[in-house]
C-alpha cells in the first residue's frame, strides 16, 4: 500500500453459488478521494462495498482487503480486529438501515458504540461528548428538530441524513455509501449527494459511493470506477468516461441510467 492510500483491495473474488459477484478486483484508494462506483445491477458494486466493511467475506485465496494499516479480511477470513477498523469506516445504505423504533437521536448516538465503554454502550448511557456530537451532526444536516422522533416516522431523505450523521458521530475517516440515493426523490437525492461532497471537500473524508445514476457520478466524483459482471472495466477520471465506454459498460440502453439526460 502506498503512503497516501487508506484503502487497498487486491485480487478480491467473491462467488455466490455459480455466480461471480467479484472477479479479481483490485483497487487503491488514496486519502481524500471521492470515488463513484458504477455498473449495471448485479455487477458487484454492493458486494465490493460490503466486503470492505466486512459485512461479508470474500473468497479464500490471494484476495486481501486492507484499510488504514490493518487487514479487514484476508484468505476468506474476517480479521479479529475488524471492529476497530469498522469504527473508522462509516457505512451508508440504500435502505438507510436506521433502527426504526429508536429515536433519530439514539440512532445517531449509536455511532459511538465502538469507542465508548462496553457497559455504557450496552445501557445507552451516552457520554456528554456523544450527545453533543450527535446534536451537532443532526443540526448540520438540518434534521435536529426530528431528534426525538422515531426513525421510521421520518421521510427517506431525513433518515438518510440521520444515517450520515451517525457516520459523523462515529468519527469515520472513510464513508462507504451503497446506493445512498436510489430510494430517494430527486430533491432529497441531490441534498444527500451534496452532503457527501461537503464531507469530502470540507472534512477531508474519503468517500466511495455506488450509484445507479451515471450523471450523478460524473457531477460529484472526479474518479469513477466501473464494474461489469464482477470485473473492473474502468478506473479513471469522470471526463474519460465517454459515450463509447458507457455503451461498453451498460449496453446500448445506457441512456436509461441517466436521471437528467445522457451526454450526446
Partner 1 sequence: MSVQPGAIPPPPSRSLIQRAPDMLLWGGVIALLLIAFGPAEIHKLPLLWSNSDNMRQFGRDFLHPDFSDWKLYVDKMWLTIEIAMWGTFLAIVLAIPLGLLASRNMTPPWIQLPIRRVLDVVRSAPDLVIGTVFIVAVGLGPFAGVLALAVNTSGVLAKLFSEAVEAIDRGPVEGVRATGAAQLHEIIWGVIPQVAPLWTSYALYRFESNSRSATVLGLIGAGGIGQLLFDSLNAFAYTRTSAIVVVIIVAVSLIDMLSQAIRSRLM
Contact call for residue 115 and partner 1 (CB under 8 A) = yes
Q: Contacts with partner 1 in 51-80 (CB under 8 A)?
A: 53, 55
- Is 100 one of the binding residues for partner 1 (CB under 8 A)? yes
Contact, 169 vs 134, CB < 8 A?
A: yes
Quickly tell me which residue has 473508522 as its cell. 88
Q: Residue from 7, 33, 39, 96 that binds partner 1 (CB under 8 A)?
A: 96
Radius of gyration of the chain (CA): 18
For the bound state, the minimum distance from the C-beta of residue 166 to partner 1, rounded and expressed in Å, comes to 7
Number of Cβ within a 10 Å radius of residue 54:
21
**Closer residue to partner 1 (CB): 2 or 118:** 118
> Across the beta sheet with 34-38, what order do the strands follow?
89-92, 174-178, 206-210, 34-38, 223-228, 231-237
Among 34, 35, 98, 137, binds partner 1 (CB under 8 A): 98
Q: Among residues 9 and 257, whose Cβ is nearest to partner 1? A: 9
Residues 200 and 174: their CA atoms lie apart, in Å, by 9
Q: Which stretch binds partner 1 (CB under 8 A): 14-22, 105-113, 208-216, 247-255?
A: 105-113
Q: Which residue, 118 or 253, has its beta carbon nearer to partner 1? A: 118
Cβ proximity to partner 1, 87 vs 149, nearer residue: 87
- Counting contacts by CB under 8 A, is residue 138 touching partner 1? no
Query: Is residue 157 at the binding interface for partner 1, with CB under 8 A as the rule?
Result: no
Cβ atoms of 112 and 127 within 8 Å: the answer is yes
Q: Report the residue number, 161 or 166, with the smaller CB distance to partner 1.
A: 166
Helix (H) or strand (E) holding 73: strand 70-74
Of 113 and 249, nearer to partner 1 (C-beta) is 113
Nearest-angstrom CA–CA distance, 154 and 24: 40
Tell me the CB-side half-sphere exposure of residue 85, using CA atoms within 13 A: 21
Binding site for partner 1 (CB under 8 A): 53, 55, 83-91, 93, 95-102, 110-115, 118, 121-122, 124, 163, 166, 170
Amino acid at each position: 500500500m502506498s503512503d497516501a492510500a487508506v484503502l487497498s483491495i487486491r485480487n478480491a473474488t467473491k462467488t455466490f453459488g455459480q455466480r461471480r459477484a467479484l472477479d479479481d478486483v483490485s483497487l487503491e484508494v488514496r486519502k481524500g478521494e471521492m470515488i463513484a462506483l458504477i455498473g449495471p445491477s448485479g455487477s458487484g458494486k454492493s458486494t465490493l462495498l460490503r466486503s470492505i466493511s466486512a459485512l461479508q467475506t470474500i473468497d479464500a485465496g490471494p484476495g486481501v482487503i486492507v484499510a488504514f494499516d490493518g487487514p479487514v479480511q484476508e484468505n476468506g477470513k474476517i480479521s479479529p480486529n475488524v471492529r476497530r477498523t469498522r469504527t473508522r469506516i462509516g457505512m451508508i445504505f440504500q435502505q438507510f438501515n436506521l433502527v426504526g423504533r429508536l429515536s433519530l437521536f439514539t440512532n445517531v448516538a449509536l455511532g459511538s458504540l465502538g469507542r465508548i465503554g462496553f457497559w455504557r454502550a450496552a445501557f445507552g448511557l451516552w457520554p456528554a461528548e456523544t450527545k453533543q456530537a450527535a446534536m451537532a451532526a443532526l443540526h448540520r444536516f438540518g434534521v435536529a428538530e426530528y431528534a426525538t422522533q422515531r426513525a421510521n416516522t421520518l421521510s427517506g431523505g431525513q433518515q438518510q441524513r440521520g444515517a450520515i450523521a451517525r457516520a459523523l458521530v462515529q468519527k469515520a475517516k472513510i464513508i462507504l455509501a451503497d446506493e445512498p440515493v436510489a430510494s430517494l426523490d430527486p430533491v432529497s437525492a441531490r441534498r444527500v449527494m451534496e452532503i457527501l461532497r461537503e464531507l469530502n471537500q470540507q472534512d477531508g473524508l474519503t468517500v466511495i459511493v455506488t450509484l445507479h445514476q451515471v450523471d450523478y457520478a460524473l457531477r460529484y466524483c472526479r474518479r469513477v470506477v466501473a464494474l461489469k459482471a464482477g470485473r473492473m472495466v474502468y478506473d479513471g477520471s469522470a471526463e474519460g468516461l465517454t459515450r463509447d465506454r458507457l455503451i461498453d459498460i451498460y449496453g446500448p440502453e445506457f441512456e436509461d441510467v441517466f436521471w437528467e439526460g445522457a451526454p450526446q
